[in-house]
Structure 1
Amino acid sequence: MDVLIEFISNHLQMIYIVILMIFVGVEVIGHVPAVLHTPLMSGANAIHGVVIIGAILVMLSASPDDILALSLGFVAVLLGTLNVVGGFVVTDRMLEMFKKKK
């Protein structure tokens, strides 16, 4: 418990910034019109390619004996890939709605 209290007291400004970022993000997303919400979210999902690259770099720098780092890196690559593919699938479906039907 003392370690947690010490961590919080040492990183209090960073915690305030994260809380502020959460509130600002909720306000920004909350004021986006419904028409733009799907393309905005699919674009945001595509940005998760950065997560994939970061996870691959973590896995490359981890030692072969560090099972935890390799497992977390693999899960991050897997979830990041699913998020990127899902973003493109949503975008594709959205664009299909605007095509003329034959």
Structure 2
Amino acid sequence: MSKPFDMALFLSGVLTGSKATQQRHLWQARVMQAAIQQRWQRDNPWTWHLKHVRWFLTQHLKDHSDATRYYYRLTALLVWKRLGNGRQLLISRSNSGG
């Protein structure tokens, strides 16, 4: 049996800010991980594709406040940065308008 993926270790190189901010990012990254695992059986960010992150931000969080979605986008950007992917690929269009 394999060990569960360690999100704290994964993000350790990109986490900055206060201890509270770092803890929020870790907690939110684990929420993202659990949701993507449940939907697509992808248990760690190394197996995620852009569609998984976009689904989380647009569909999984669709009933949450703008502020909540904003903070999850910041966490998603940290994950994307850690993976070495371009920042501009992750930022989705605003849900307002067409």
**Between Structure 1 and Structure 2, whose CA radius of gyration is higher?**
1
Judging by fraction of residues, say which structure has more helix.
Answer: 1
Instruction: Give the TM-score normalised by the residue count of structure 1.
Output: 0.30
TM-score (norm 2): 0.31
